[in-house]
Chains A and B, each alone.
Chain A
Amino acid sequence: MVSESGGRAGIGAGAAASAGAGRAVFRRPIASRLAERALETLIRLSGVSAIVFVLAIFFFIFREAAPVLFSPGFKLSEFLFSTQWFPTSASHVRYGTLALTIGSLSVTGVAIALAVPFGLGAAIYVSEFCGPRLKEGLKIVIELLAAIPSVVWGFIGLTVMSRITIALTGTPVGVNLLNGGIILALMSVPIIVSIGEDALKAVPDSYREAALAMGANRWQTVYRVLIPAARNGLLAAVLLGVGRAVGETMAVLMATGHAVNVPHSLLDSVRTLTANIAAELGEAAAGSDHYRVLFLTGTLLFVITFAVNLAADLAIRGVRKR
């Protein structure tokens, strides 16, 4: 608390009320002070709410998932390392998520392989090479790109991109790993660009000036000075792009096809961990093993994205320290 007494220049409603008390010390009415105390408590509670929500997410998901760990028909090693996913089979029920995990990894891999060079290249262009007006315009467009809903991306994958894929590669089915990867790449590029641009902007101008004064041109400055200096921030940009790609649901649900299998080529259909939950949660009876296994998959996803985000945060923190 900064001060409860002394000259108060009419800020807040309570100031005038007690000014006529005839003493040098002004006190605000007790109601006003209590209201302030209550509000500050509310503010503190809201501040803590983020922690509460993260814990609550983990708790409620794991609470639905936990009973299956002790169910006789379930083995954790099978869940993690088997490629057989037959949740609704009558005689041969299997809950192996390896194919789904590989599906997630391969789609993310394709997306990142496309998005990282393009994203970082665009970030460098926006940050270092273009004029102020174009820069403003490009940043707005990138922000709008980031706002396109994932279900619209999925729809684009399903209708436009699948036709393009069929026309270019001659596969019979247009919704596959390549299609989903391209869609995901387009979705994660805006994140990589905006965070990468922030990272480059965070490099002090004195670095640029020093490099230019030494006779380096702009490109030499970029790859000899700025990229090494902004390394951690760029890494964080890539990681957050990966985070978005791994967690994306609707777009991959609609654009990657629906086959649970380990892909052997770019043109195979795959299913990801996220899409699998979205596709089957509606059909799984609440409380059944199938339902609980889907929640367990959710727990797995939560842990994966937690790790990725933590890594990105540590990378950004590394930037701030220097």
Chain B
Amino acid sequence: MAAPAGAPLFSRTAHVQRAERRQAIAKWLTFAMAVSMILPLVAIVGYLLYRAAPSLSWEFLTDVPRRGMREGGIWPAFVGTLYLVGLSLAVSAPIGVLAAIYLHEYAKDNWFNRLINLAVINLAGVPSIVHALFGLGAFVYAARFGYSILSASLTLAIMTLPVIIASTREALASVPTAFRAACWNVGASRWQTIRGVVLPNSISGILTGVILQVSRAAGETAPVMFTGAVFFKAVSRGDLFPYRLTDQCMALSMHLYTVSTQVPNVKESIPYATAIVLLGSVLMVNASAIALRVWLRNRKRW
């Protein structure tokens, strides 16, 4: 493109200036879009905290609900959530990790394994309420576990399975193929290679994925609502082991739904405080998983 006579050789033409103006606008616009989904949320969480403040205390966490959940704390719900999350992970983590090992280390690229991949993707996309229906039909009625912690955590386990598979696969994929090839070349079998080389190098990534699932399982409401969680369960204060496997239990997510929509005349700050405890624990677990991941990435040696 020839510059007009007399102008310096590398001055911007009108065309370039227009393009740069457009770029500046686009940059600010996309920046505004990125910020506009974050800032309102920070404001909202701040507002929730402000409204929750009168109830937030150690007492609130360790006390049992009183006067038909209009006062008191959330201990039974908090412990119930710990039970559900712990049990569901105990089921889904081994199956998920093994399934990911199969898909990443053993499976050839044929129609059957593509079908498995498709199944994993679909399992991840099934709505939570459909998982609830499945849990009700399969575990509560067909398997005769009844409404119980067992049914609810099995439902949660199937729900979290695809995400554990996905994150484990990613962790396995981050181990270079050269590591495996070196191990095969000294005569190790496939499983010995996985055990001796692949797993030690990816275990931290796998753990991060599993920790992230803790937060997802803790926040789910619909799947536990119809399979084992109840409005209220009498539990003594600060009791760490109040439930048996076949009992129904309270859950934090369900408790938030209950106190904010089903119970009239709840003390104003209680639903807010429940929301803050749920949100706080989920975000804390998540943030620690992310911190673990960042730390591990920084000390990776290859």
Residues of chain A having any CB pair with chain B under 8 Å: 1-9, 11-12, 36, 39-40, 42-44, 46-51, 53-54, 56-57, 60-61, 63-64, 117-118, 121-122, 124-126, 129-130, 138, 140-141, 143-145, 147-152, 154-156, 158-160, 186, 189-190, 193, 217-220, 222-223, 240, 243, 246-250, 254, 274, 277-278, 281-282, 286, 294-295, 298, 301-302, 305-306, 308-310, 312-313
Contacts and interface: CB of A to CB of B under 8 A. Distances in A.
B290 A121 contact: no
B178 interface: no
12 contacts: A9-B187, A11-B188, A43-B101, A46-B96, A46-B99, A47-B99, A50-B99, A122-B34, A148-B282, A247-B126, A278-B222, A298-B129
Given A2-B184, A121-B29, A243-B125, A149 B218 contact: yes
Task: Determine chain A's interface SS by DSSP, over half rule.
Answer: helix
A220 B98 CA distance: 46
Interface residues of B, number: 97
Contacts of A301: 127, 129-130
B79 interface: no
Please provide the 10 A-B residue pairs with the shortest distance between their CB atoms, ordered closest to farther: A149-B219, A247-B127, A47-B102, A121-B33, A125-B30, A46-B98, A219-B23, A122-B34, A60-B137, A309-B125
Interface of B: 19-20, 22-23, 26-27, 29-31, 33-34, 36-38, 40-41, 44, 47-48, 51, 94-96, 98-99, 101-103, 106-107, 113, 115-116, 118-134, 136-138, 141-142, 158, 161-162, 165, 183-184, 186-193, 195-196, 212, 215-216, 218-222, 225-226, 253-254, 256-257, 260-261, 271-272, 275, 278-279, 282-283, 286-287, 290
A92 to B, nearest CB: 26
Contact of B186 (A9, A141, A189, A281): A9
Contacts of B29: 121
Given A149-B253, A151-B219, A156-B48, A129 B118 contact: no
Given A125-B31, A155-B256, A217-B20, A53 B123 contact: yes
A51 B26 contact: no
Given A155-B275, A218-B23, A219-B26, A8 B186 contact: yes
A302 B256 CA distance: 27
Contact of B137 (A44, A218, A295): A295
A129 B125 contact: no
Nearest to B279: A152
A54 B123 contact: yes
Nearest to A219: B23
A313 B47 contact: no
Contact of B282 (A64, A149, A186, A302): A149
Contacts of A42: 98
B130 A247 contact: yes
Contacts of B282: 147-149, 152
Contacts of A118: 33, 36-37
A63 B134 CA distance: 10
Contacts of A248: 127-128
Contacts of A43: 98-99, 101-102, 106
A180 to B, nearest CB: 14
A4 B184 CA distance: 11
Contact of B131 (A57, A141, A222): A57
A152 B256 contact: yes
B37 A278 contact: no
Contacts of B101: 43, 46
